[in-house]
Amino acid sequence: MTTPSLILTPRDWDSHPPYCHPGYKSSVLRSPSRPLIPLKENLKDRRVPVYGADDLGKLDHDLTRNAAKNGEPLGERIIVTGRVLDESGRPVRNTLVEIWQANAAGRYVHKADQHAAPLDPNFLGAGRCLTDNEGRYRFLTIKPGAYPWGNHSNAWRPNHIHFSLFGDYFGSRLVTQMYFPGDPLLDLDPIFQGTPEHARNRMISRFSIDTTEEGYALGYEFDIVLRGANQTPTEA
């Protein structure tokens, strides 16, 4: 007998950006050009790899320290936290949350990023953690800078952090981007604008004075829903 926890609700496709969004040029090149191939019915019940605390380093969640060599990274320190929830609003416990981002100058530690902005020798821009029993995660990091990306004339990406998550099953895999409230570049960004309007706010974090630590860092809350009608939109 199939247990209720193995039943997945259908995705709300109307809340996600299309695979091909012409305003985002890269999506035209990488989007599927042939019909999708249905997976076997029982594949949806296969569990994803199990991640344990032994696989994580004690500083993996702290991007202000996990790559420090000769000092602290430059930029505005922030705290990003929130809950990971399933389609019924229940906490997703002990699941891996991974993030990656540009540094405060808007540059990634990647050979493909040749933006004329400085690299920070004390900032890698990547971290990971496991959610607790309430489904909560927490990262310490530096607020990422905007950067030009060549998609169109004078194109700049808004400040954002990439998130990658696995839920309990293959069907609840999610890759998304977290944006910051009040960013003027959101109105000009074809990746953000490619998401249906009614679902865009699900990708914008909330400033939280309760999460903010006095004299240390501003705090932002960003809850993530892995599936169902209120799922956090996937990136285009």
Residue 65, phi then psi, degrees to nearest 5: -130, -20
Can you give the pLDDT at residue 2?
Answer: 41
Can you give the pLDDT at residue 51?
Answer: 56
Active site residue 21: no
Active site residue 160: yes
Query: 21, 107, 108, 137: which one is catalytic?
Result: 108
pLDDT tens readout for residues 203-221:
999 999 999 999 999 999 9
Every domain of the chain and the residues it spans: 4-225
Query: 21, 107, 162, 227: which one is catalytic?
Result: 162
pLDDT tens readout for residues 3-44:
444 455 666 767 777 767 777 777 777 677 777 666 555 555
pLDDT tens readout for residues 72-94:
999 999 999 999 999 899 999 99
Query: 107, 160, 202, 227: which one is catalytic?
Result: 160
Q: Are 111 and 71 in contact (CB under 8 A)?
A: no
Can you give the pLDDT at residue 58?
Answer: 93
- 54 SS3 class: helix
Active site residue 157: yes
Nearby residues of 140 by Cβ (< 8 Å), 6 or more positions away: 61, 62, 63, 64, 65, 77, 78, 79, 217
Is the pLDDT confidence value at 140 over 60? Answer: yes
Rounded to an integer, what distance in angstroms lies between the CA atom of residue 14 and that of residue 202? 14
Rounded to an integer, what distance in angstroms lies between the CA atom of residue 96 and that of residue 164? 8
Q: Does domain 4-225 have CATH number 2.60.130.10?
A: yes
Active site residue 216: no
pTM: 0.81
Report the relative pairing of strands 206-213 and 217-221 from DSSP bridges. antiparallel
The arithmetic mean of pLDDT across residues 118-130, rounded, is: 96
CB-side exposure of 160: number of CA atoms within 13 Å?
19
